Structure 1
Amino acid sequence: MKHFLTLGLLLTATGAALAQAPAVADTVTATPAAPVNPLTYYGFVDAYYGFDFKHPATNTRPGFLYSHNRQNEFTVNQGLVGLRYDDGRVRGAVGLHAGSYVAANYAAEDPVFKHIYEAYAGFRPFQKAWLDVGIFGSHIGFESAISKDNWTLTRSLMAENSPYYEAGARFSYEVSPQFTATALVLNGWQNIRETNQAKALGTQLQWKPTAQLLLNSSTFLGNEQPQDSLRRRRFFHDFYLTYAATDRLSLAAVFDIGTQQSAGRQGSDTWHTAAAFARLKLADKLSGTLRGEYYYAQRGVVISSLQPAATDADFRARGGSFNLDYAPTDHVLVRVEGRYLNAENAIFQQHDGRATNQYGNLTTSVALSF
Structure 2
Amino acid sequence: MEHLLNKRVLNIEISGIRKFSNMVSGVEDMISLTIGQPDFQTPPHVKQAGIAAIEQDFTTYTHNAGYLELRNAANNFVKHKYNLEYDPEKEVIVTVGASEAIDVSLRTILAEGSEVILPGPIYPGYEPIIRMTGGVPVHVDTRDSQFKLTAEKIEPYLTDKTRCIILPYPSNPTGVSLTEHDLKDIAKLLKGKDIFVIADEIYSELVYENKHYSIATDLRDQTIIINGLSKSHSMTGWRIGFLFAPENISKHILKVHQYNVSCVSSISQMAALEALTNGYNDAEPMRIEYVKRRDFVCERLTKMGLEYVKPDGAFYFFVKIPEKYQMPSFDFAVDLAHTNKVAVVPGSAFSKFGEGYFRLSYACSMEKLSEGLNRLENYLKN
**Shorter-chain TM-score: which interval?**
under 0.3
Larger Rg: 1
Taking structure 2 as the reference length, the TM-score comes to 0.23
| Higher normalized contact order (CA 8 Å, seq sep 6+, divided by chain length) | 2
Higher strand share: 1
